[in-house]
Amino acid sequence: MSVRFVRTILVLLAIVHNSRALVDEVVDVLKLGKEIGEEIIASWNVVGKTLNVSEGVELPLIRRRERLILAKLSHISQSIDRLELGIEKAGAVALFLAKNGGRGTRFELKLHDMTVLLNKVAAVDRQMRVYVGLQEELERSTLLGFAQSCVFYEPDALPGVLEQIHAHIVPPHKLLLGKGLLQQIVEEVQEGGTDVCTLQMSPHQLIYDIYNTIALAEIKGYAIMQFSWMLLKLYGKGNFSQEASLTRERYGQRTTQAANVVRGVLSSASRDLYRCDPIQHEEGKTYDQVTRLLQGYIENEVDMNPQGTCQENCGYYTLTQRYGCYDDQLCTQQKTCGGRIINCQYIDSDMWVCPSGDSKRRYDWVTYENGRTLGQKGECTSGGHSTKVDSWWRWLFWHCSYCMCLCDDATDSDRYFSLWDATSDVNNNKVVTGLRLIKHGRVFHLQVYESTLKERGLIEGGDWVPVQKFDPLDPQFKDGVDYHTLTYENRAIDLDDLDSPSGHVLTGVRFRMLGAHLHFEIRSTPFNYTTGRLSPEKSQWISNDNTEGSARPRVKLELKNPDIPTRSSVPLAVDSEHDQYVEFTNSDLEADAAQSTVPFIDVQPVLPAGAGALASGAGVLHRGARGSGGFVALRLRTYPHARHVRAEPPADLPRGPDPADGPDFEPTVN
């Protein structure tokens, strides 16, 4: 997918985001459109004949109705003003991108064309707003000229522009012209993958927001055209009852067809939202680490048995501990392993060790006499020089070898995960609209972003819910109850993608223990889409309680030669699937001397653009590649809007059953 495509989508989003705040106003405009249609029908009966305005004939009733319509149009002008400000900014960005972008494809030109068409509707709307504000000062001929330009069919006039917008969504000759623009957008974004991160919107949310913008353009166009027909009638330029009826009919056809297409596109569009690699990795801001879980550690076998002998070899020591410090050798020059020593191996007898100045590491690199190097060798900055370490012989029979092992020592190790619930305030009708992992002290916490749920799936405001911090070493907090401690035996985290039942939204997340695995769950709460009210007492926790012992056991995601992920020269894409798990382990021995714990933790907030999307699910994923430890990260699943997309034809048009109609609560699970 090209950079120009992403840039063009961002231009559309500049319009979308400013129009999303107008959903309440959209409903008002819908009602206004119906009222205008009804007012026009009533006007035919009141006027009864064509007026000769040039002779000064003016009926007070008609004048009052004219002012009523203008007042209604004026009522939405402030909201439209906010929208137009965003469109003007988007136009400046579009000009910059046009100068700096490459040559576009046919698809990208369609996106550009849609942006131009939407801006044309906005321009007509701006002009209408100006005239409404100056109605007492304007000449009647000015209003008449504007009304005529809004209803007479020309390609660049309002009726033609609305038809062109509709043709992009519902191609008139599908076999000849191919797929509609919205379907093409979904395919391009989902094939590109990383564009979900660039846009910070799920494909589903992107399509829904673009549809809202197009629907708003249709509504404004319909209102302006009906307003224009009524002006022309009131000012004696003709009857126009048939024309007004055709306008209503065509508006109803377009909105119904578009709604049907959008429902289908939304049903196939991914609702997943997650973060990708940032431009620059920054510890504590874009990622954090579990530290010193399993770490490369050099120890002589004489210190790994209580007898202080050298009668075995390195491979013998699969699980042991440090018992002493013989003859004050390397053991006095490094931080000792105060926990368990695991999986030792012999590499060579003599070596140079570069101790690390980083508190998370023991060594920067190790070079053996046979030429093998562990880690990235460079200048040894800690202490100014490397340390020579030699194995030795005891009584000519026993070789006291230095072994490369793994140390599992909880001292000074950040290896704790909070098991406390992270929830929104459902009693005050707040829902979860964003997530992130965050480390406080030595503990990783789940944190949620909560927003107030309003009518028709709208959300308002939002903020991060403060994390409840604690010290895992405080005896009042219990391992397995308040927190989980990673160890060699208990270091797996489940990778799941969880969603709520239909008619429910996301209101919480948490970790709990499922056997030896750190397991992710979501809280789901039913709500009434029309009123926006939650039913907190019906909340439920949802999880995928599959284990390695199930009929279809979880599959382990293997990390191949896992180096530090921040060193990766390629973007780290999502490489996990639902119902898998990954184990925290040591980084690759060759690449990093096994000094780091991987995967790292992605702490970037998963928050839809503008913090403006309702969510129904969440999950844990892994981003990585062969040769990288990758990142454990969170994903958010945006709410499925497809069943709520419906056409709103004028009141005098018949309306058939809509597949989006139905109960607010359904027991089935997506």
Mean pLDDT of the 504-522 span: 97
Going 621 to 625 to 626 to 629, the CA torsion angle's sign is negative
Over 90: is that where the pLDDT of 19 sits? no
Cα–Cα distances (Å) from 345 to 156, 325, 349, 385, 408, in that order, read 77, 19, 11, 25, 16
The band of 654, judged by pLDDT with boundaries at 50, 70 and 90, is very low
**Do 584 and 620 contact (CB within 8 A), yes or no?**
no
The 3-state DSSP class for residue 342 equals: strand
Residue 30: the pLDDT is 39
For residue 604, give the nearest of 418, 422, 438 by alpha carbon: 438
**Do 535 and 527 contact (CB within 8 A), yes or no?**
yes
Upstream peptide bond of 599 is cis (omega within 30 degrees of 0): yes
DSSP string, 137-170: TS-HHHHHHHHHHHHS--TTSHHHHHHHHHHHHS
DSSP 303: G
**Do 234 and 52 contact (CB within 8 A), yes or no?**
no
Residues 6+ apart with CB under 8 A from 261: 169, 170, 180, 182
Residues 6+ apart with CB under 8 A from 371: none
Residues 6+ apart with CB under 8 A from 348: 368, 369, 370, 372
**CA–CA gap between residue 425 and residue 430 (Å, rounded):** 5
The band of 374, judged by pLDDT with boundaries at 50, 70 and 90, is very high
Longest CA–CA span in the chain (Å) reads 128
Going 529 to 535 to 538 to 540, the CA torsion angle's sign is positive
Mean pLDDT of the 481-489 span: 97
Q: How many CA atoms lie within 13 A of 466 on its CB side?
A: 3
**Do 617 and 604 contact (CB within 8 A), yes or no?**
no
Q: Which residues pair with 460 in a beta bridge?
A: 452
| Kind of pairing between the strands at 319-320 and 416-418 | unpaired
**CA–CA gap between residue 363 and residue 349 (Å, rounded):** 18
**Do 122 and 84 contact (CB within 8 A), yes or no?**
yes
DSSP string, 564-633: -GGG-SS--EE---TTEEEE-EEPPHHHHTT-SEESEEE---B--GGG---EEEEEEEEEE-TTB--EEE
Over 80: is that where the pLDDT of 82 sits? no
**H or E element at residue 221:** helix 203-234
Residue 17: the pLDDT is 44
Residues 6+ apart with CB under 8 A from 452: 428, 429, 430, 431, 459, 460, 461, 462
DSSP 534: B
Q: What is the pLDDT of residues 150-178, one digit of tens each?
A: 998 887 899 999 999 999 999 887 655 56
Which tokens hold the place of 30?
Answer: 């819908």
Mean pLDDT of the 488-513 span: 97
**CA–CA gap between residue 224 and residue 209 (Å, rounded):** 23
* Domain layout of the chain by residue ranges: 3-268, 295-408, 415-639
Q: Which residues pair with 614 in a beta bridge?
A: none
Residue 153: the pLDDT is 80
Which tokens hold the place of 296?
Answer: 């490369």
Residue 475: the pLDDT is 95
Residue 103: the pLDDT is 37
Q: What is the pLDDT of residues 92-126, one digit of tens each?
A: 333 323 333 343 467 777 878 888 898 999 899 88
**CA–CA gap between residue 33 and residue 36 (Å, rounded):** 5
Q: What is the pLDDT of residues 217-271, one digit of tens each?
A: 888 888 888 878 877 887 788 888 889 889 989 998 999 999 999 999 999 999 9
Cα–Cα distances (Å) from 504 to 120, 507, 522, 534, in that order, read 39, 9, 12, 9
16-30, 240-254, 280-294, 329-343: range with lowest mean pLDDT: 16-30
For residue 486, give the nearest of 592, 566, 563, 597 by alpha carbon: 597
Most confident range (mean pLDDT) of 325-334, 384-393, 420-429 is: 420-429
E strand segments, 154-294: 272-274, 287-288
Percent of the chain with pLDDT over 70: 78
Residue 46: the pLDDT is 39
15-29, 333-347, 366-380: range with lowest mean pLDDT: 15-29
CB atoms inside a 10 Å sphere around CB 631? 29
CB atoms inside a 10 Å sphere around CB 152? 13
**CA–CA gap between residue 366 and residue 376 (Å, rounded):** 9
**CA–CA gap between residue 285 and residue 602 (Å, rounded):** 9
Over 60: is that where the pLDDT of 538 sits? yes
Mean pLDDT of the 515-520 span: 96
Q: What is the pLDDT of residues 22-81, one digit of tens each?
A: 334 333 333 444 444 444 444 434 334 444 544 444 545 555 555 655 555 555 444 444
**H or E element at residue 64:** helix 60-75
Residue 323: the pLDDT is 95
Q: Average model confidence (pLDDT) for the chain?
A: 82
**CA–CA gap between residue 124 and residue 162 (Å, rounded):** 12
Residue written as tokens 């974004």? 189
Q: How many CA atoms lie within 13 A of 133 on its CB side?
A: 10
**CA–CA gap between residue 66 and residue 222 (Å, rounded):** 17
**CA–CA gap between residue 193 and residue 199 (Å, rounded):** 11
352-356, 574-578, 655-659: range with lowest mean pLDDT: 655-659
**Do 534 and 507 contact (CB within 8 A), yes or no?**
yes
Residue 664: the pLDDT is 36
**CA–CA gap between residue 181 and residue 168 (Å, rounded):** 6
Percent of the chain with pLDDT over 90: 53
CA torsion 378-381-384-385 (nearest 10°) is -40
Residue 296: the pLDDT is 98
The more confident residue out of 608 and 525 is 525
The more confident residue out of 439 and 359 is 439
**Do 597 and 586 contact (CB within 8 A), yes or no?**
yes
Straight-line distance from the first to the last Cα atom of the chain, in angstroms, rounded to the nearest whole number: 30
CA angle 636, 641, 647 (to 5 degrees): 160
Residue 545: the pLDDT is 94
The more confident residue out of 52 and 385 is 385
For residue 178, give the nearest of 166, 162, 167, 186 by alpha carbon: 167
Over 80: is that where the pLDDT of 488 sits? yes
The band of 193, judged by pLDDT with boundaries at 50, 70 and 90, is low
